[in-house]
Structure 1
Amino acid sequence: MKNISIEIPSLTENIRIVESFIDNAKEKYELTDDVYGNIMIAVIESVNNAILHGNQADKQKSVKLSAALLEEEIVFSITDQGVGFDYKNLPDPTAPENVQKIGGRGIFLMKNLADEIQFKDEGRTVELTFYID
């Protein structure tokens, strides 16, 4: 298993560092464009959530991002220093009462783009798995 990882302060402008990290993962792991596109959107959404919701945009706190290549999948792990959240009771962004709301689509997007999603450590860590064979 080949791992790469970074840690960034909780500033939204650091998303460009995350984009570079994903670009490096694409090259290092020779990912296809389809998988790469899904990874880029899902991982950026997750890091953005970690910065804004998990760490409350507190630049004293950081977000850890790692990628691990297994035989037929790549797993991205995103961890914040927040208090966690109730990931078992999320509103459905496609429900009529939620369609007009500004937020609430990030996890929905992640679930639809990643092949697997797991929340750990009371929601402070999100693992996004993408199949690559």
Structure 2
Amino acid sequence: MTTNWVDNSDNSVLYTLQLPSKLESITILENFIDTIKTENSIPENVYANMLTCLNEVVINSIIHGNKQDESKLVYINLEIVDKKELQFTVTDEGEGFDYNNLPDPTAPDNLENLSGRGIFIVKHLADQCIFNMTGNQIELHFKI
């Protein structure tokens, strides 16, 4: 379900999206991001970073947060502020994780691991990355 409304009092636009916790939901997410790009003339480099980061955090929410329990949802909110910044908030219904104690994927012992790079990549591609205390919500900012 997608909702779109404009709040003219602070010149921002808010979008919401709720996805069931199944990997097929990524197609809905990608279509949502494509629509946002087109409707708001998002530059290609920002679009690529958004797409990469949101794919990563939503897949993590589906697999690790909600454990692919289709009765649980992943909530995505997007606020576009003054057509200058995109602020995404992604929340799952899981217990969260300790985002301060993740293994360093660039450490020699971890270089050949097949997973464990997602949050590292997200932190480098988003302009700002903020977790809530429990680790089941992330806020990503992208300047446009």
Give yes or no for TM over 0.5. Answer: yes
Q: TM-score, normalised by structure 1?
A: 0.96
Q: TM-score, normalised by structure 2?
A: 0.88
Larger % of helix: which? 1
Q: CA deviation at 1:29?
A: 2.0
Aligned to 1:24: 35
Identity %: 42
Aligned to 1:36: 47
CA contact (8 A) 1:29 1:69 kept: no
Q: CA deviation at 1:48?
A: 0.3
Name the stretch that deviates more: 21-30 or 4-13: 21-30
After superposition, the C-alpha distances for 1:12-51 in whole angstroms (9 at most, x for unaligned) are 0110000011011112222111100110011111100000
After superposition, the C-alpha distances for 1:89-116 in whole angstroms (9 at most, x for unaligned) are 1111010111111111110110111010
The one-letter code matched in structure 1 to 2:91 is: T
Larger Rg: 2
Where 1:48 maps in the other structure, the secondary structure is helix
Unaligned 5+ residue runs, structure 2? 1-11
Q: CA deviation at 1:121?
A: 4.5
Moved over 4 A (4+): none
**Superposition pairs of residues 116-131 of structure 1, within 5 angstroms:** 116-131=128-143
How many aligned positions are there?
132
Unaligned 5+ residue runs, structure 1? none
Higher relative contact order (CA 8 A, sep 6+): 1
What is the RMSD of the two structures over their aligned residues, measured on CA atoms? 0.9
Name the stretch that deviates more: 41-50 or 65-74: 65-74
